[in-house]
Amino acid sequence: TANDIDSLRQKLIAGSQKVQQQIIPQLADLGNEGLQVLQEFLLKRRDTPATWIDGKAYQVVYNSDAPTAKEFLETYFPEGIVPLKSDCGISYNSLQQLLIRQEFQAADLLTIQKMCEAVGPQAVQRKWLYFTEVENFPIQDLQTINYLWVVYSEGKFGFSIQREIWLGLSKNWENLWPKIGWKDGNKWTRYPHEFTWDLSAPRGHLPLSNQLRGVRVMSSLLNHPAWNT
Ligand code: UYC
């Protein structure tokens, strides 16, 4: 009823993130009227930086079959809700599209590719980065890539999430690996099949940084100046 919708709208606007997270799918289940509330919500918050709550609302509207919802997104948010800033002219549109659809495995691969692209043709050919290249990685690009991961994963994935966990473990790598599901006892998680490519994964599980060549790349990532601004 109209009353139910109104009560959900109030909770969506004023509730904690946990409440908002629960309300969003409920509104989507109510069909057009619920979707309308989510659309209003997205529009009203358009001028402030997107959070993973906005990402969730966007995804739910995106995944609805309602033609009006599709039209709404095409009109107001044709590329998604994260501004794709880059210091080196790279387009992160395809990464945003994969993450909107929560195609996390493909997004993980594309993340490495895009990072190589941002560094230069040698890195693209090599398909991995030297830690020195990561140290000099453009700040805006790293922030954009991270922001995309955080916003479309309910705040679960992203380098900044990994960093937060790592800082909470006093920067102890050996404690980080099991915490983010990259190691179980003495056994490394095998790429790609043993990784979890959906939101049932542990916090910080994605994106992956291959440890085959040592921890220095990951270390440069988590120590990057991008996180201090
Ligand atoms: N892999 O085990 N990994 C690869 C991870 C290790 C290995 C790629 C992460 C341990 C080999 C990604 C972990 C290890 C290949 C990741 C992990 C190992 C490979 C694709 C847990 C053996 C090449 C991108 C820390 C004991 C396979 C890339 C091939 C690939 C990620 C082996 C993203 C997070 C130490 C042999 N692993 N990697 O960088 O088919 O190649 O060429 O970390």
ipTM for the assembly: 0.96
- Choosing from 174, 205, 210, 221 the residue with most ligand 1 atoms within 8 A of its CB, the one to mutate for a pocket test is 210
Q: How many Cβ atoms are within 10 Å of 225's Cβ, its own excluded?
A: 11
Q: Ligand 1, residue 182: give the atom nearest the CA.
A: 21
Instruction: Kindly report the backbone phi and psi dihedral angles of residue 201, in degrees, each rounded to the nearest multiple of 5, phi listed first.
Output: -70, 160
Query: In sequence order, which ranges of the chain are alpha helices (DSSP H)?
Result: 2-14, 17-29, 32-44, 52-63, 67-76, 93-100, 104-119, 121-126, 131-135, 139-151, 159-168, 173-179, 216-222
Task: Determine the pLDDT at residue 91.
Answer: 98
Q: Ligand 1 in contact with 122 (CB < 6 A)?
A: no
Count Cβ atoms below 10 Å from residue 46 Cβ, excluding itself: 12
Closest Cα to atom 7, ligand 1: which residue? 212
pLDDT, position 3: 85
Rounded to whole angstroms, the Cα distance separating 5 from 3 reads 5
pLDDT at 229: 75
CB atoms within 10 A of CB 71: 10
Cα–Cα distance, 97 to 107 (Å, whole number) = 9
Residue nearest to atom 28 of ligand 1 (CA): 210
Residue 146: per-residue pLDDT: 98
Residue 129 class from Cβ within 10 Å (0-12 exposed, 13-18 middle, 19+ buried)? buried
pTM of the full predicted structure? 0.97
Helical (H) or strand (E) element with 187: strand 187-188
What is the residue type of 12? L
Cα 95–chain centre separation: 10
Q: Which residues of the chain have pLDDT under 70?
A: none
Q: Is 126 in the pocket of ligand 1 (CB under 6 A)?
A: no
Residue 182 DSSP class = S
What DSSP designation does 15 have?
S
| pLDDT per position as a tens digit, 135-172 | 999 999 999 999 999 999 999 999 999 999 999 999 99
Q: Report how far ligand 1's centroid is from the alpha carbon of 192 (Å).
A: 8
